[in-house]
């Protein structure tokens, strides 16, 4: 795996170097019906690396066998926040069974609006989970979802979360839509926190959609990369400069099977 940085993956080109994988949640409806067949589709699209969000009724070991059979490698996976709070060792065990390098969380349950007290409380849970996972050689990460950008002091609660979490054991995944939707600038945010952004969800928000701090919008507002609101050139220039390690396409729309190949073409052709 040490050679991944030099390996040319699908979705890379002259300017954007990746490496690129697929968040399997993009094909969640297909996985519920046919795991092996859906993994065949992932391979057909050209992917080798994937990020998980569940194992669709199979044990971690069983799902790992399915991935191995198709030549797919799981790099990261999402687990419920409550598991990180109550049983981080159990998460580590499952992550090891899946062969993951990262185990993360996509959503923190909270009362709206997300506030300072909850932010500080949750940061301690992340610190404890990060320390447990680190003992197993696995990195903990939190995936942005928009609600963390409530105003706080001269910045946002996301800034407080960064301050309250241990940079040695707590990392972050930028979901680009969930940075753009609440009105933040993803390139500037990448530059601000540098190497703590180890992973990215490449997702583009439909033009004209007005955002807020709810952390929720219609999944069909996910559009082909390059056709939405994101300045990808600025973002990739920043992320490659700070050393973001993994890029996963996530397309939650009902058109994901059609859109993902077009997003890959965009990534291969983008230049600066």
pLDDT at 260: 98
What is the CATH code of the structural domain delimited by 18-269? 3.20.20.150
1 has a pLDDT exceeding 60:
no
Q: Is the CB of residue 226 less than 8 Å from the CB of residue 256?
A: no
pLDDT tens for 100-112 read 999 999 999 999 9
**Whether pLDDT at 226 is above 50:** yes
Bridge-partner residues for 127, per DSSP? Answer: none
Question: Is residue 128 scored above 50 in pLDDT?
Answer: yes
Burial class (CB in 10 A: 0-12, 13-18, 19+), 107: middle
CA–CA dist 266, 237 (Å, integer) = 15
Taking CA atoms, 186 is separated from 144, 183, 231, 258, 261, in Å, by 11, 9, 9, 26, 23
Model pLDDT, residue 2: 42
Pairing relationship of beta strands 151-152 and 139-143 according to DSSP bridges:
unpaired
* CA distance linking residue 233 with residue 270, whole number of Å: 7
pLDDT at 7: 82
The pTM assigned to this predicted structure is: 0.97
State the pLDDT at residue 28. Answer: 98
Chain-centroid distance of CA 266 in Å reads 19
Backbone angles phi, psi at 246, to 5 degrees: -140, 135
- Average the pLDDT over 244-266 and give the result: 98
Mean pLDDT of the chain: 97
Q: Is the pLDDT of residue 3 over 70?
A: no
Does residue 6 register a pLDDT over 80? Answer: no
pLDDT value, residue 5: 60
pLDDT tens column, 14-73: 999 999 999 999 999 999 999 999 999 999 999 999 999 999 999 999 999 999 999 999
Task: Work out the average pLDDT over 247-251.
Answer: 98
**Residue 109: predicted pLDDT:** 97
- Contact assessment for residue 36 and residue 66, using Cβ atoms and an 8 Å cutoff: yes
């Amino acid at each position: 795996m040490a050679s991944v940085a030099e390996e040319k993956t699908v979705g890379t080109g002259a300017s954007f170097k990746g490496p690129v994988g697929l968040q399997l949640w993009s094909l969640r409806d297909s996985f519920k019906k046919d795991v092996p067949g859906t993994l065949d589709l992932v391979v057909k699209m050209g992917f080798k690396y994937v990020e998980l969000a569940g194992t669709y009724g199979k044990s971690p070991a069983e799902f790992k066998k399915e991935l191995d059979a198709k030549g797919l490698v799981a790099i990261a996976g999402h687990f419920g926040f409550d598991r990180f709070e109550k049983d981080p060792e159990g998460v580590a065990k499952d992550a090891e069974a899946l062969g993951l390098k990262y185990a993360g969380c996509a959503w923190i349950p909270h009362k709206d609006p997300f506030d300072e007290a909850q932010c500080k409380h949750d940061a301690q849970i992340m610190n404890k989970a990060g320390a447990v996972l680190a003992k197993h050689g696995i990195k903990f990460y939190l995936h942005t979802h928009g609600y963390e950008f409530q105003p706080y002091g001269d910045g946002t609660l996301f800034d407080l979360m960064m301050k309250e979490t241990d940079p040695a054991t707590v990392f972050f995944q930028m979901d680009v839509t969930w940075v753009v939707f609440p009105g933040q600038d993803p390139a500037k945010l990448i530059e601000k926190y540098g190497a703590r952004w180890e992973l990215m969800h490449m997702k583009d928000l439909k033009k004209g959609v007005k955002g807020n701090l709810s952390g929720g919008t219609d999944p069909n507002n996910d559009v082909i990369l390059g056709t939405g609101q994101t300045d990808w050139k600025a973002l990739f220039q920043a992320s490659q400069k700070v050393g973001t390690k993994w890029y996963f396409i996530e397309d939650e729309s009902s058109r994901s099977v059609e859109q993902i190949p077009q997003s890959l073409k965009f990534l291969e052709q983008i230049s600066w």
